[in-house]
A and B are shown apart, each in its own frame.
Chain A
Amino acid sequence: MFKSPYKSIKAELLEVIEETSNIKTFVLKPEEKFSFVTGQFVELSIPGVGEAPFTPSSSPFKTDKIDVTIMKAGYVTEALHNLKGGETLGIRGPYGRGYPVEELNKKDVLIVGGGVGMAPLRSFLLTLLEQKEKFGRIILCYGSRTPEDVVYKYLFPEWKKVKGLEIMQSVDKCPVGEWDETVGLVTCLLDKVKVDLAKTVSVVCGPPIMMKFSTTKLLDVGFKPQNIYLSMEANMSCGLGKCGHCQLGHHFICKDGPVFTYEQIKNIPEPFA
């Protein structure tokens, strides 16, 4: 039977988890088996309303359900935020190239996240933790605007107990006494963390401005451009490298990315615009 690459399959919205005042996690059960590689994205749609790209935040090892953590930012996400659970959504994908987990074998991994950028990184982190023996140190530096804006608040205490996983957190601002970790931009954490550059790769995801300054900081610290992995999210629409919207120089983020090394994009004018 003919199946259009532009057609979604149905997915039941099982649960909506409130993360912050403008971020929610949507737990979905697709009607057919739906596998993905961590870092790949999906196109999620509210039938008759609209479609937008998101990277799942759950582990690809968990195949019965998919979590997608979404910030309210535009009309599709606003409509998603109005859902309570029980509705039927559309999903298609997965698309693009995800995180190069195989290439990280025996390496130390420095994860740098900002805001809702923690969503794809949660999927990545869970993937690493699933096979922790393959990697060296796993370090997570995560920055939020305020303590309220931290996503997965309920997971951080658990993660902090995991042996071999080091976690550092920062908030941009906070009233005195409400935060016992670093206050400052996430780049402050990169000043504090000590890594062996010869065997460490960094994986960065967050708002464009955060990615820009994190990349600059990592380069300053001594990371090579090919050891900095970036999730270059854009307004991917077709997901198939055809509609043109997500072009970044000669790359189509939806099929050549969304994960790129800085080496791949460093010559493109204003890659973090």
Chain B
Amino acid sequence: MLTYFVTETNWLNFISSLVSQYRVFGLIDYEGELKWRRLNEANSHSITITKYRSIQPIKKFFFPVKEEVTAEPSAQKTILIGCKNCDLNHLKTTDSMFVGSPVSDPYYLKRRENTIIISSDCDDFRKTCFCTSMDEDPFPSKGFDINLSPTRGGFIVEIATKTAEQLISVRKHYFQDPQPILLQEREKMRKRITELVKNNNSELNWTDPQRIVSSTYNSKAWDDDIASTCVECDACRFVCGTCYCFILSETKDIWSRIRTWDSCQSAGYARVAGGGNPKNTRAKRLKNFYACKLVYRKENFGFYACTGCGRCIEVCQGKIDIRQSLAKLKKLEKNV
């Protein structure tokens, strides 16, 4: 992998040089909340590159909340700056769902092909972060076009794809070769942030969430405890980067069709004509969500559809914390 060093000023100048040619999105810090915003000449110097993930999942750039799915797909050249490793891991699930088998979704695919992903290491964490418990790292090693690691005075820049090489090659004057000492420092930084996230979750004693959810699926604890404070607001599903469910509906233009994000936590999600509903309680719906992320997709794809980003914990009105739920279920494992 090609590796460079870039100073912070040069990096921001590099971004400024992109905003006229691409749709560029970056993270703007609103009192600690990072939000995705379209960048322009005016705001491109005030973005946050590293820190932690945004509350907004990046799936929305490929799978918008609402879109027509009968027209010819179109996508503008887009660059996302500041994706974190949990975001990249989310794309493994959405890619597996939308691309291929039995046909690819042309809308997702077109946007994916036209988007350049610039990720960064985390150098801070949220209280809800638990990627290390899901055997993931708080820094990317694949799935990006360009990755940035913060270091003294700037960033170490890794170039992973031809697209990224081309983007850099016409703006080579911003970049220089990295000093070996900086690479060593990066490893130290990565170890440090990994330890910080682990310490953040030091009380958690569970491993193998697939087994925990499978073996406690019929426990009454789902009704009595785990799902008892759910208010069915669906927020957890809409911030989840791996949730791909959608609902199709007709439009007034009678031969076109739109899709909208849907949530398995809604009472009507699985309801069939005639009123039958296999997921007719909050507990059935919540355990379906846990099983979807931790059992079913693992069986389908070999990896979890939960990356430990903690967004669902942060937005939950009922204070449901998947980390604590798994800890409670683990205790029940023997008793089921």
Contact = CB atoms under 8 A, between A and B. Distances in A.
Given A48-B250, A242-B105, A244-B246, A269 B269 contact: no
A73 to B, nearest CB: 4
Contacts of B269: 245
Interface in A252-273: 255, 269-270, 273
A208 interface: yes
Interface stretch (A55-63, A138-146, A181-189, A232-240): A232-240
B178 interface: no
B106 A5 contact: yes
Interface string A34-51: 000000000001011111
A192 B173 CA distance: 86
A271 to B, nearest CB: 9
Interface stretch (B34-42, B199-207, B255-263, B309-317): B255-263
Nearest to B269: A245
A2 interface: yes
Interface residues of B, number: 47
Interface stretch (B13-21, B179-187, B292-300, B326-334): B292-300
B262 A243 contact: yes
A179 interface: no
A52 interface: yes
Which residue among A51, A255, A269 has the maximum number of chain B CB atoms within 10 Å of its CB?
A: A269
Contacts of A270: 278
B296 A249 contact: yes
B218 interface: yes
B101 A244 contact: no
Interface string B268-307: 0111111010110000000010011001110110000000
Given A250-B296, A250-B299, A269-B217, A255 B246 contact: no
Contacts of B257: 6-8, 51
Interface of B: 69-73, 97-98, 101-103, 105-106, 217-218, 244-252, 254-257, 259, 262, 264, 269-274, 276, 278-279, 288, 291-292, 295-297, 299-300
Interface of A: 2, 4-8, 45, 47-52, 71, 73-74, 76-77, 90, 208, 233-235, 237-238, 240-245, 247, 249-250, 255, 269-270, 273
10 contacts: A4-B69, A50-B249, A50-B250, A208-B276, A235-B272, A237-B247, A238-B246, A245-B270, A247-B292, A269-B218
Given A4-B72, A235-B272, A250-B300, 11 more contacts: A5-B105, A7-B256, A8-B255, A49-B250, A50-B249, A51-B250, A73-B273, A76-B273, A90-B255, A234-B272, A242-B246
